[in-house]
Structures are given as C-alpha cells and as structure tokens.
Amino acid sequence: MRIYDLTLPISGEEENAQIEPDRSFIKNGITMSTLNLHSHSGTHMDAPLHFLLDGKPLDTMPLEKCVGPAIVCDLSHKEPDSFITVKDLEPWADKIGHKSRVLIRTDWSQHHGKLFFQTSFPRIHVECAQWLADRGIWLVGIEHQSVAKLTDMQELTEVHHAFLKSEVVIVEGLANLKDLPQEDVMFSALPLKIMGGDGVPCRAVAWIGE
C-alpha cells in the first residue's frame, strides 16, 4: 500500500512557525527543539470555535469524520482569485452527500512559498459552502490556506460560518492532490489533542483501497 503525503512542510522559516534548538547532542547528549506554531500554520484543521463564539473546540471533534473514504474533485482548471461554485462541483453531485469527505484539487499547493500563495488562490463561494454543508458532508479539504479570501473579513466569516455551524471539519493547506491516481481514495487528517483548540497543524495522507 502506498501512502500519499498531502501535507505542506514546516521548515521553521515561516512567519507563523518557528523551530528553535532547545538542547544539542554535543552539549547535552540529547537533541530537542522548541516549536512555536500558530494554530493555523501549514496544513491545518479548523474547529467551530475558530469562528463561532460558542463553537466546539478541536478536542471534541469526532475522529471518524477525519478518517475514511474521500472524493477528490479536480478543479485544477480554476483561475487564480476565482470562486469555486456549486456548478464546479456538479459532476460529483451524486457522490457528495451525508458523511462525505470532499477534497478540492486546485494544484495551488505548487505555489507554496511564493508571495501570492496566500492572496490569489481560488476560494469557495459562500453558496457552494452552504450547498456542501446542507448535503451533510463531514469534511472539506482544500489546497489553500483558507476556504475564503483572507483579506475580506465578511467573506471569510460567511464561508467559515456555512461550514462550521454544521460542524463540517475544514482542512486547509493540503498539498500534492495532483499525485493521487484516482478520485476515490482513503483519507486521514488527525489533529493534535489540544484542549480548547481553535485549530492545529495536522498530518494529512491518502491511500488507495482498504
């Protein structure tokens, strides 16, 4: 069985993620580091608490939502700074339903590290977010750092609300969806058990078969 890594690397050089030496093998006989990670750095998950005052934290998230069959929707044709709409997802409408896990491929992760990575990505229109939530999906995953435009607070709030009010798990910052050989895969993205967490980096993977 081949495991496909769908996770962005964290090098410690990012603005919101630092890795500093704590002890060295030469000096202390052991190597240890101090990690200073923003809760939404790299490939990460959003909890309802992220945008809802009374939203649930990550430690209460049902883990069965995070592991299982997923559908990869190839939208790699989408232009930068465009909206992902209901019409875009209609080819998979028969597959998207109660308890679905939907991974939206845009190949935007190939731009990781570039200046426009966090500003010009295709993002989910609020009507599309509500359409997915109304269908009862369990999880949505994207290759961008957010489901909505980071500089538009109204859009950011509306799209997150559409998902999080229905307790849809949001996985942001996926990578390498282009490497998956088929659209029906098994998927896993598990959060650290941060008590009261609004979000946390995670390791996302996919594989084919049982």
Mean pLDDT along residues 181-196 = 95
Query: Any idea where the domains of the chain sit in the sequence?
Result: 3-11+39-207
Q: Is 40 a catalytic residue?
A: no
Q: Which CATH superfamily is domain 3-11+39-207 in?
A: Putative cyclase (3.50.30.50)
By the 8 A CB rule, do 133 and 163 touch? yes
Residue-wise pLDDT for 66-79, tens only, equals: 999 999 999 999 99
Q: Structure tokens of 26?
A: 């030469």
* Catalytic site residue from 38, 40, 44, 50: 50
pLDDT at 72: 98
Percentage of the chain modeled with pLDDT above 90: 78
- In DSSP terms, 73 is beta-bridged to 104
- Taking the C-alpha atoms of residue 5 and residue 2, their distance in angstroms, rounded to an integer, is 10
By the 8 A CB rule, do 200 and 192 touch? yes
> Which residue has better confidence, 148 or 114?
148
pLDDT at 210: 61
- Taking the C-alpha atoms of residue 170 and residue 138, their distance in angstroms, rounded to an integer, is 9
